Structures are given as structure tokens and as C-alpha cells.
Amino acid sequence: MRVLVISDIHSNITALEAVLDAALPYDTVWCLGDLVGYGPDPNECIELVRSLPDLLCLIGNHDQAALDMIPLSRFNRDAGEVAAWTQQILTEDNKEYLRSLASKISLDQFTLAHGSPNQPVWEYILDTHSADRSFAAFNTYYCLVGHSHLPLIFYRPPDIDITAKKYIEWNRAMDLLPRMILNPGSVGQPRDRDPRASFAILDIEANTWEMKRVDYDIQQVQERILDAGLPERQAIRLAAGW
């Protein structure tokens, strides 16, 4: 079974559509949260994600902010401004969908969380120190996370008390080894200085993980951000991948 793993779409329908086309064929989709926030297309992104086959989807911190579940004071000024705008334009149906989402899911040998298995919505896993804490918080072989907008892989063999960061080999199916924390990067707002949308293909039968990138029309999204009256910084950052 081929699983498309995506995260941090952030209301960028153009990037999402490019990923869905580039990832074909896939049997199911696992979305690790933050469908909305930052970008201009929150309703469109939610509706497209909801239509995907055999979907598993998590709630992220920006999704919670759009539902007024967490105070906007926890965000920087730009992110809070976009969250307030998103609250106003989300349809009630899409709000109800976001409310229905879990913050953490475990199935077979996989744990899914937006941030970390310790704090599913808010904690970042950015380095081996934060990964160390997280390995103690899940019992499956693998944990898939988003939130940081960075494609990352951390590896900790079951019989060794040391965590290592693994080099990502793009466009190559990498063997999965117990135990790993894997981040597919961001669809809608990458932050690793590569503006292309990032995603992963998980092959359950082959037990492999393949990281991929795809170009999309960034200028088109930037224009919609500005037309919506959203902060210019959210448009500028898309072109540089930060």
C-alpha cells in the first residue's frame, strides 16, 4: 500500500494540488495537520483534503487557532492576524470538520502526531535532543510528525541509547529501520530554504520512505495572499523557503 504523507498545507491550494498530482499513484493519504494558517485558501484546502481517499488527518496548532481553541496571543503578530482572518472566512461545515480531528493517532507500527508524541499539537522536534525525549513517548516502530516545516529523519536503534539524524536521499526509497521519527516537510510553506512543496511516499509493503519535492506557481499564491489583505511577509517567504 502506497501512503501519501503530507503536512503543513497552510491554506496553499496551489501547492497542495501540485503535490497530489506529483504523488500519483497512492492508495491512501495521511495528513499530519495544519491544513490552514498563513495562506489564502483555507476552505479550498480543507475541502480538497476531505475528499482524499482513505484519509487519516490530524489537527494542528493553526487549525486549533482557526477554531478559537487556543489564544491568538500564543502566535506571532502575522500568524495571529491570519488566524483571526481564517476564523472569519471558514465555513461552519469546515470548522466542524476541523473539530472532528484527533491530535494523535496510532495504528500498527506507526504513531502520527502534528508536533510530537509528547505534545501532539505544540512541541517541535528539531534536533537529536528533542528527538530523544520523543522516542520515550511512543511504543511503535515509527512516529510521523510535521509542525517544523522541515524534512527530517531521526533514528534510534532499539538496543542503542543514542539518537542520530539521518541524511535525506531525495527521490530514493529509503529503508525504514526501527525506530525512526520522520517528518515529510511542508506542502504549503517549506522552511528549509527550498521553496518547492515537500511530501513523502510511505510504502507499507516494501517498508520504505521516499522524500519528494515539486514546483508550484508561487507567484500565483503570493498574489492571492496580498489580494486577501494578509501580511506581505507571508507572501515574501514562500519564494525563499523560510
Strands 164-165 and 151-155, sheet pairing: antiparallel
Domain boundaries, the chain: 2-240
- Mean pLDDT for the stretch of residues 48-54: 96
Class of domain 2-240: alpha beta
Q: How many residues does the chain have?
A: 242
pLDDT band at 143 (very low <50, low <70, confident <90, very high): very high
Distance from C-alpha of 44 to C-alpha of 182, rounded to nearest angstrom:
27
Query: Exposed, middle or buried by CB within 10 Å (0-12, 13-18, 19+), for 138?
Result: buried
pLDDT band at 160 (very low <50, low <70, confident <90, very high): confident
* Cell numbers representing residue 53 in the block: 481517499
Calculate the dihedral angle through the C-alpha atoms of 200, 201, 204, 207, rounding to the nearest 10 degrees.
-70
* Cβ(106)–Cβ(138) below 8 Å: yes
Look up the pTM and report it.
0.97
Residue 238 has pLDDT above 90, yes or no: yes
Residue 125's alpha-carbon distances to 2, 33, 73, 219, in angstroms, are: 25, 15, 22, 30
pLDDT, residue 139, reads 95
pLDDT, residue 113, reads 98
- Mean pLDDT for the stretch of residues 214-234: 98
Residue 76 has pLDDT above 90, yes or no: yes
DSSP lists the bridge partners of residue 211 as: 200
- Mean pLDDT for the stretch of residues 99-117: 97
Cα within 13 Å of Cα(221), Cβ side: 33
